[in-house]
Each structure stands twice: as C-alpha cells, then as structure tokens.
Chains A and B, each alone.
Chain A
C-alpha cells in the first residue's frame, strides 16, 4: 500500500477524499491502512467521529496482531487508544495481551486501575477482570506508585492482596497453622481473594477433614485463575489415592508443587518424569528406559515391556533374553498385532490363527482360553469384513466373515452378541436354512433375550409359521411391552393372511384374522393398515355405514388426502375388491388427487408401496399408472438425494420408468452438477436393464462410480456398481464367494444342480410351484423360489442370474409351459 503523505497540511477537499478512503479501509477491515489514513486527519482536525474511527482501527489492528500471537505488538497498538483520563477503550483485551506476553507486573498495574472504579464494562467482562485482578495482585507484588496515592477502592484491593501474599509466604516458610490462619483471617470470604483462603485452609488442615476440604475446593470453578492451584491441592489431598493417571493429568508445574508438598523423594519424581518423557519419545525409548530400572518390581517391568512388543517385534529376542521365553500364544499374538500395525493383513490372519491353535492345544477347554478364542475369532471376522486379504479357510466357498463368526460362536456359545451378529450375517447372505436353525437353537439357549425373541418372531414369520411367530411375539411383549416393531409385524402378518382369505372369497375368515390382528394393537397407537383392512372387509360384507366410517378413520390415520386414499386403494387392489367398494375407493382417490402433491404425500405413497405385500406387482403397477399425472407434478419438488433414491427404487420396481425419467430430468435441470440424477436418467432410459446400456453410458457410469468412491460416497458407488453388474448384491466379498463356483461349474454340472434343487424343495414341489404362481404370478413365484433355492445345499454358491434362470425353468416345466425359454445350459457357454 502506498503510504499517505503526512508532511504538510491537507486541503479540506483532500481531507474529504482521505476520510472516504479511510472509512472504506475500516469497513473492509484493512486496519493498518485505516490507521495510517486516520492519523494525519485527526492530527489536522481532531473531529470526535474521526478520533473514534481511529480508535476502532487501532483495536482492529491489535486484534489482527493478537490472532498472529504477536501479543507484545498488539498491546503496544492498544496503548495508542489511551485517553486523557488514562483509560483504554478495550481494557480486558489489553490485559489478555499483557498476560500472554508474560508482562504480569504491567498487567497487575493496569488491572488495578480498572477494578472497583465506576466502570462501564459489561458484567461478564467485569467478572473476568476481577478474578484476574485477584490472581495477578497475589502473584505480583505491586510497590506504591510514587506518582499518585491509591484511591480508597484500590486500597480495598491492595490490602487483601498483601494479606494473601503474606499468608502464602507464611505457609511456604513453614509457619504454624495458627500463624497461617491469623493471616488468612484478614481475607474477606466475600472478596475475590477467597480462593487463596480456601486453598491454604485445605493445605493446613490436611489430612484431618478430607471431605470438607474437597467441598471447599469445589467452590473454585474451572474458569478461575486459581483452578490450576485447586487441582494441585486436590492431588495433594488425594494422598495414597493419587495414582499414575492422576499424576500424569497434572502439568509439570502442578507435579512439582505436589512432589514438594508430599515430600516425594527425588528418585521417584525423576522416574515419573522420565517415564513420561520416554513414553512420549516412542516405544523403543520407553523399552530401553524400563530395562534399566533394576529397583522396580520386575514382574511389572516385564508386563510393561511385553505391552510394548507389538510396536517393535524385533525386540522380542531381547525381551526373552531378559525375562525368559514367552509361550507360543503370546509370541503369535505379538506378531499378529505387529502385522496389523503394518497393514499386512494376510500375515496378521496367519498369526491370529496360530494363536488360536496354540490356545486350543495348551489350554483346551479352560474357560478363559475359550473366551480368548472367541474374542480372537470375532476379531478375525471383523478384519475379514474390512480387508479382502483375510481369506478364512481359503477354499473360496465360505464367506470368511461368516466362517470366523461360526467358529467364535462354537468357542464361546454363551455370548449372545456374537450369536446375533452371526444371525445378521446369515440373513444378509440369504442363508435361510442356517438363519432359522441358529435362531431356533439360540432362542432356547437365551429364552429371555428380547433381541433374539424378535429374531425368532421374524424367522417364524419368514417360514409362515404364524402360531410360532405369535408365541415368540407374546413372549417378547412380556419382556418389552412397548415393542412397537413386533406389534406392527404381527399386525402386518395377519392383515396379509386376511388378504388371502379375501382373494379366496372368504370375508368371514378374513374378519376373524383381522380381529386376531387387533389384539396386537395398542389402544394409544391404532394401526392404519388394520383399520383400512377391517373397513374393506366390512364393506365387502355389506355393513356399509359402519364400514365407511371406519374406512375414513383408517384413511385419516394413514395421512388423509392422497396418501390415505392411496393406502386404502392399494389395500383394495391387494384384496381384489370389485364392484361398488372398488368404485368408492377409486372415486375418493380421484377426488383427493385434485390436491397438488406434497413431499409428505409422495413419501407416504412410497412407504405404502414398500410394504411386503406390495410385491403384487401387476395390481400395484396398474394403481400406480392411475397416479401417473399426479406423481409427475411432484417432479418439481426439491428432493433430497435419499428421498429421491427411495422414490426411484419404488418407481423402478413397478416399471414406472417414464415417471422416473421425468423426475431425474427435472432434478438434473435444477442441479446439473450432481451426477446421481444422471445415473437415474440412465436407469430410466434402460428400464433398469444394464444390458441395454450403450458403451458410452457404461463408461460414464464407471467414471461416476469411481468419482463417488473417491469422494467416499460409498452408497452411490455401490448403487452404480450393483446396477452395472446387473444384480442387487454388493461388492467384493459376496461377489467373490459367488464368482468362485460359477467358474468351476461346467455344463454337465448344471442338470445335477437342478436335480439337487428339486430334491431340496419340499414334498409336492410341483403343487407348491403351482400355488406360488397362482398366488404371486409368474415373476413373484420365481422370486420366491430363488429365495428358497438359496437355502438348498447348492444354493448359496450360485450367482443370482443362474438361480433365477433355473427357477424360471422350473416354473415353465411345472406349468407345462410351451413358451420357449433359454435352457440354463445354453447360457453357460462361457469359457
């Protein structure tokens, strides 16, 4: 910046120009420039507003310097704001700068000028100032100011400060308790010097009344300048209870005070200090330091050194030379931890497995050994989930996470968290047979565990064992009466049964199912789906007035408007209602659709379509087609990515790709930089089928997935990868276990697998397939069968597309389908 000319007087016109420049510089926080501009102006014409602006510029400049830790310079700049009455514009800030710069004497003199005077300082700043004043006046003795006699107010501060210093000096000099107390009595309990009285009182009465002393110390708050003193005195009072943790929490200054007050020998203080220093210098320094401590208990030294070995396994031989050989288990454990530290996961796995083996050989069925094996195997499972280098048993078929969890459960079967973890993995991997088996075993072992009872309920529901599920649910509700999740599940299950009865033309049985479902309902939390289902059953039975009233109540519970009537219409479709009842639902939904869509209404519809029975694809798709125009209006809503994802999944599931395309286009227009909209646009164009992707689109999606992974948006990256790979399965691990058998299969093995799958089906499989097709339609039956097939011996290793094709072939065979289909073997023509 060019320095303004400060030599001669400035004309009034130039002054105005300067004033404008100075004001602009101040406004833009260019404080140094503002100071240089205001200074000559004030010198020539000391207008009050310019003087004020100059002071403001000085303050700003001082703050900028303090922010760079240039406290000495900052204090000097603030001194420029000194008024004729000797006061500064910003006394607390000035005090901070002096203290930070270590100018305690000057700070004490400064603070004495402000305390107790008729200050205009706000209360908070005043309190800070008074606390600091007391501490400073005790720490720094102020000699009498020859220039002026202290005011009465200043004398009021100086007297207790002197008393505090004298009391401290008496204590330091080893004066008697009475003498120290005599000095302390000169300090008023209402003054800012009260902490000195409290601290010394605690020190001289030690160790008689420890509780009373602790209470007194608590009156010194953490923000007080005497708080560091309070912590040191508390450590002195702790006596034998002062452990290593308490010692290391103290600062070196506090440690010195405690060591002197507790009369700790120099050797102990030196050991404590040097061990802390060695610990900071790294494991090798600490190891070396510990080995040179012959006077300490050697068992403890050995233990401390052993804990350091994983960080420096090369010292293992030195350790063994000094303390004797380690057991095999310890050696493997140290090497495994050392390998983990280096990120060598394959080696870590090898050493952990060796440690487990060593435990099995040496300690057999010893309880501690079993628990240790369980801990290590669970740790291996966790590592396997994160690092593909961990291979498990190495046969390529078993997921190493699951196999390690299985082994940990065998080693430690009483650990319910481990069992739940394994159940979760079985479910996620669709290993239904193992899931159900483990849940059945576990619920007998832990009959009162609510998490397991919930699993047991879900497992029984998945097997359509309603009575069993209800039994588990009742047991769970005895333990946890407000478990809304299990209540909702039981209601949904019975509503689903009622739908089946309705579709079979048995409304009286459906009403019975719904009456049973109502037993799961809490009076304070009525269920919308249940209320709607009951109303529709009553409508079908001709109980019109009562049914309509209940229907409207159910719709209100489901969110009213389009959300509520859509829920009712969906239920009607699922129950296959016809005639006047269906007409009523249709009319009400049409009327509701006149209201423009809202975010909440669309999300309520998405939620309704996510219900399990919404897999009645054909019925739902036709209902959704009727909603098309209304849903299109909602494309302009500013959807959050997570909301958009939920909508996109539902639209894709029910083939509403034109609606999805419009949503994606609109979102992209609104936010062109977000690649996720483009992804959905591509999904819509290809109608969710990656085989329809162009090469350009594939490359674009590949780039998108890489970019998402780079910015650690793993949800987006996985979603794109799943779409590209054409399955709903997530990355590496599952794909690894699925890909291995695919490569080992040859064309001859497919018929065998087919036969094995048929054998794995329950008796009357053909009848079951026919029932499935009648119940769910051809696609739904295939989906259901794929789930079942995964539970057969050959199932878990099979990739989804192959399983699906096999199931399609079975459906075609059972239904005596004349439609040509691709035989699985025809597809298996890969090299």
Chain B
C-alpha cells in the first residue's frame, strides 16, 4: 500500500476529524461505483489512519514517504498558478496515449 498520508493528502499532524473530512471529500469525487480502485485505495488509507494509534504506528514503524510527497506538493503550490495552452505535440501525445491505452487495457477481441 502506498503511504496513506500521501494517498489522502493529509499532514501527519491531522486529527481524526480532518482525516475523515478529507476521506469523505475524496470518496465524493471518486465514488466506488465510478472509480472502484481509487475508492479501495482511499478506504485502505483511511482505515490505516482513522485512529490516533494507527497513525502513530504508521509514523513510528513505517518508512513513509509523506515528507517527500509534501516537498512535491510545496513545489507545485509555489509555482504561480496560471493558465496557458499546451503545445500541439503535447495534445497529440495525449491523444495517442489514450488510443494506445484503450487497446492495451482491453484484450484483443475474438
């Protein structure tokens, strides 16, 4: 399982209420019927952090990646959020990736 703090996007100091709020928000955006895998991941992360002792367990016994993830988030936030347009190549690559993903995710028919 990936680091549950990172999965839920909460700080190590977050309390029960904050973790629950964040979990419910994520589940609202990715409900089990539409994104079952993501939901499972959020559920597992929530269960791993839903109790103060479990969070301590995670911090003391796990070699979690929360700090690195926090660094990356800080870098993303530090960048001035602006809006621009992607390049023609980026759009073409995205379309190709989607086409390729459709045929590789599915078994060839027949």
Contacts and interface: CB of A to CB of B under 8 A. Distances in A.
Interface of A: 59, 63, 66, 90, 92-93, 95-97, 99-100, 104, 125, 128, 131-132, 135-136, 138-139, 168-169, 171-174, 206-207, 214, 218, 223-229, 232, 239-240, 242-248, 251, 253-254, 256-257, 260-265, 268, 271-272, 275, 279, 286, 290, 293, 296-297, 300-301, 303-308, 310-311, 333, 337, 368, 371-372, 374-376, 379, 412, 415
A232 B94 contact: yes
Given A218-B34, A272-B72, A206 B83 contact: yes
Contact of B72 (A136, A247, A260): A247
A253 B63 contact: no
A253 B97 contact: yes
B21 interface: no
Given A169-B88, A260-B84, A311-B63, A248 B72 contact: yes
A208 to B, nearest CB: 12
Which residue, of B52, B68, B71, B82, has the highest number of chain A Cβ atoms within 10 A? B68
Contact of A262 (B52, B81, B110): B81
Given A371-B53, A375-B57, A307 B68 contact: yes
**Of residues B57, B76, B88, which shows the largest number of chain A Cβ atoms within 10 Å of its Cβ?**
B76
A376 B60 contact: yes
B50 interface: no
Contact of A135 (B56, B64, B95): B95
Interface string B64-79: 1111111111111111
Given A260-B87, A272-B75, 10 more contacts: A59-B110, A93-B109, A139-B92, A168-B91, A172-B87, A223-B105, A254-B94, A300-B71, A300-B74, A374-B53
A3 B11 CA distance: 69
B75 to A, nearest CB: 5
Contacts of B66: 303, 307
A310 B64 CA distance: 11
Main secondary structure of the interface of A (DSSP, over half): helix
B72 A99 contact: no
Given A263-B84, A272-B76, A225 B102 contact: yes
Contact of A139 (B53, B60, B73, B96): B96
Contacts of A290: 68, 71
Contact of A171 (B85, B92, B98): B85
A262 B83 contact: yes
A814 to B, nearest CB: 50
Contacts of B99: 99, 104, 132, 135-136, 139, 225
Given A300-B70, A301-B71, A225 B81 contact: no
B17 interface: no
Contacts of A415: 53
Interface string B1-35: 01000110100000000000000000001000010
Contacts of B64: 307
B72 A275 contact: yes
> What interface size band does chain B fall in?
35 or more
Contact of B98 (A93, A207, A227, A379): A227
A223 B102 contact: yes
A268 B78 contact: yes
B99 to A, nearest CB: 5
A244 B107 CA distance: 32
B106 to A, nearest CB: 7
A371 B56 contact: yes
Contact of B103 (A96, A279, A286): A96
A264 B100 contact: no
A486 to B, nearest CB: 26
A228 B84 contact: no
Contacts of A228: 94, 97-98, 101
Nearest to B5: A245
Contact of B82 (A227, A244, A254, A262): A262
Nearest to A246: B9
B102 A256 contact: no
A739 B61 CA distance: 33
A337 B61 CA distance: 7
A293 B88 CA distance: 33
B26 to A, nearest CB: 10
Nearest to A242: B76
A431 to B, nearest CB: 25
Contacts of A376: 60-61
Contact of A265 (B73, B79, B102, B109): B79
Q: Which 4 A-B pairs have the closest CB atoms?
A: A244-B72, A304-B67, A303-B67, A263-B82
A490 to B, nearest CB: 32
Contact of A372 (B60, B82, B98): B60
Contacts of A300: 67, 70-71, 74
29 contacts: A90-B110, A92-B109, A92-B110, A100-B100, A125-B109, A172-B86, A173-B85, A224-B98, A225-B101, A239-B81, A240-B77, A240-B81, A243-B76, A244-B6, A244-B71, A245-B69, A248-B72, A253-B93, A261-B85, A263-B81, A263-B84, A268-B78, A271-B75, A275-B72, A286-B68, A290-B71, A300-B70, A300-B74, A371-B56
Contact of B57 (A227, A243, A262, A379): A379
Interface centre among B64, B77, B109 (most CB of A within 10 A): B109
B2 to A, nearest CB: 8
B94 A253 contact: yes
B56 A375 contact: yes
Contacts of A242: 76
A100 B103 contact: yes
Nearest to B102: A225
A275 B71 contact: yes
A424 to B, nearest CB: 18
A196 to B, nearest CB: 9
Interface centre among A96, A226, A244 (most CB of B within 10 A): A244
Nearest to A296: B71
A408 B23 CA distance: 30
A375 B61 contact: yes
Contacts of B74: 296-297, 300
A379 B61 contact: yes
Contacts of A173: 85
A240 B88 CA distance: 25
Contacts of B94: 228-229, 232, 253-254, 257
A66 B109 CA distance: 12
Contacts of A260: 84-87, 90
Contacts of A214: 29
A245 B85 contact: no
Contacts of B90: 253, 256-257, 260
Contacts of B110: 59, 63, 90, 92-93
B53 A307 contact: no
Contacts of A93: 108-110
Nearest to B10: A243
Nearest to B12: A303
B88 to A, nearest CB: 5
Contacts of B95: 135, 138-139, 225-226, 229
